[in-house]
Structure 1
């Protein structure tokens, strides 16, 4: 049975005893999400565009492993506050139920309106794109990664699968190549992990790969830009 547990920064995550892993870092669920995905992914992509004189007021994000929805919620809160249109698609083979997500207590980290809208509309987002508020749309694609298809290409990919020790198939060449095929040229791929194998895979797929400081508990993480 899935269990709510508290992480070191006071925010909650979910422990999956079947896999033997938390949905987020034990060192801080919200800290990890903010650092790895929001700051190093979405905000980095927007800052690069701004530096090149391309001011973006819309952005598309694909997440592998939607889980509790925390990465979406923090991204949606940022985009709403900055009046940026967010089109967000999350792939999730095992969607959580609304009651379990409510128990995470993530409402303290985002606006009340966004939390209430997400809670009310979450079931409707499964395999349907739903407007969560005036700026943010969400679709939860209920299928395994290799069965995901989309005519849409994305600006940013959040790769938030369980660790390779627990789900090695998610980090294999086929899974990574399939994931990044949905990324636009100039798009950014971010994940909390960094391994020599992952770096080699992405370089072979024509990505510029960089090591950047990791979230608490991890020295480094990986960010890659599609050339």
Structure 2
């Protein structure tokens, strides 16, 4: 499928799949969306509730351009958090596309080498990106995730249900529910009623929250019991 680099409303770039008219991030602002959905309502929400010194384990569904991981690493440095980050991606973005993105320029030029490292490290192995941020990239389909009670936070950043409805089903959210530890949270930019109902059907307690720029609402789901 034909892909191109586009500029979103906050000046940050993303990748557009032209055949689907679908982007890796919001056209209203890639960085704004990531900060609002995944950092504010995911990482910051969870870390404020759980202030112990244990590393926080994050699973990202759709590693993509690495934007969410990059912002999370920088925020974790500020908050002095230790993170174990796992990014799952069925179709890794090519380096020539990554090199056209402007995240380092807009977010932190001093972290340029770290952004490159996020993409240059090998897959299927955990790497120390910084002393407090470990990253493992897994190249596989989301339906093949088998983790159980392993993660504190899930960033659910799959392509939208309009173009990939199979990624927003009860079957997928059951896998997500199983992967989370008790009191773990899943955050996503989606606010579709069918998505909310699928989450609730597998046991999540779901909240509607104000969405990022250009979107009225988003969802946060919490696991309050331990799966079997």
Quick check: TM above 0.5?
yes
CA 1:46–1:121 in structure 2 vs 1: closer, same or farther (change >3 Å)? closer
- 1:126 CA displacement: 1.4
In the other structure, the counterpart of 2:40 is 39
- 1:95 CA displacement: 0.3
CA distance in 2, matches of 1:15, 1:78: 27
CA 1:80–1:65 in structure 2 vs 1: closer, same or farther (change >3 Å)? same
In the other structure, the counterpart of 1:115 is 112
Which residue, out of 211, 215, 221, partners 1:218?
Answer: 215
Q: What SS does structure 1 have at the residue aligned with 2:212?
A: coil
In the other structure, the counterpart of 2:6 is 5
Q: What SS does structure 2 have at the residue aligned with 1:84?
A: coil
Alignment of 1:128-207 (within 5 A): 128-150=125-147, 153-207=150-204
CA distance in 2, matches of 1:224, 1:62: 14
**TM-score, with length taken from structure 1:** 0.92
**TM-score, with length taken from structure 2:** 0.92
- 1:115 CA displacement: 2.8
- 1:79 CA displacement: 0.6
Gaps of 5+ in 2: none
Gaps of 5+ in 1: none
- 1:57 CA displacement: 5.4
In the other structure, the counterpart of 1:29 is 30
CA distance in 2, matches of 1:150, 1:113: 34
CA 1:7–1:68 in structure 2 vs 1: closer, same or farther (change >3 Å)? same
Q: What SS does structure 2 have at the residue aligned with 1:177?
A: helix
CA 1:152–1:209 in structure 2 vs 1: closer, same or farther (change >3 Å)? closer
- 1:16 CA displacement: 1.3
CA distance in 1, matches of 2:107, 2:136: 19
**Would you say how many aligned residue pairs link Structure 1 and Structure 2?**
223
Structure 1 segments of 4+ aligned residues over 4 angstroms from their partners: none
CA 1:208–1:102 in structure 2 vs 1: closer, same or farther (change >3 Å)? same
CA distance in 2, matches of 1:130, 1:118: 14
Q: Render the CA deviation track for 1:160-199: whole Å, top value 9, x for unaligned.
A: 0111010000001111111221001100110001122222
CA distance in 2, matches of 1:203, 1:84: 30
- 1:18 CA displacement: 3.8
CA distance in 2, matches of 1:6, 1:160: 19
- 1:110 CA displacement: 3.8
In the other structure, the counterpart of 1:73 is 70
CA contact (8 A) 1:32 1:216 kept: yes
Alignment of 1:83-102 (within 5 A): 83-102=80-99
Find out whether 1:64 has 2:65 as its counterpart.
no
Q: What SS does structure 1 have at the residue aligned with 2:171?
A: helix
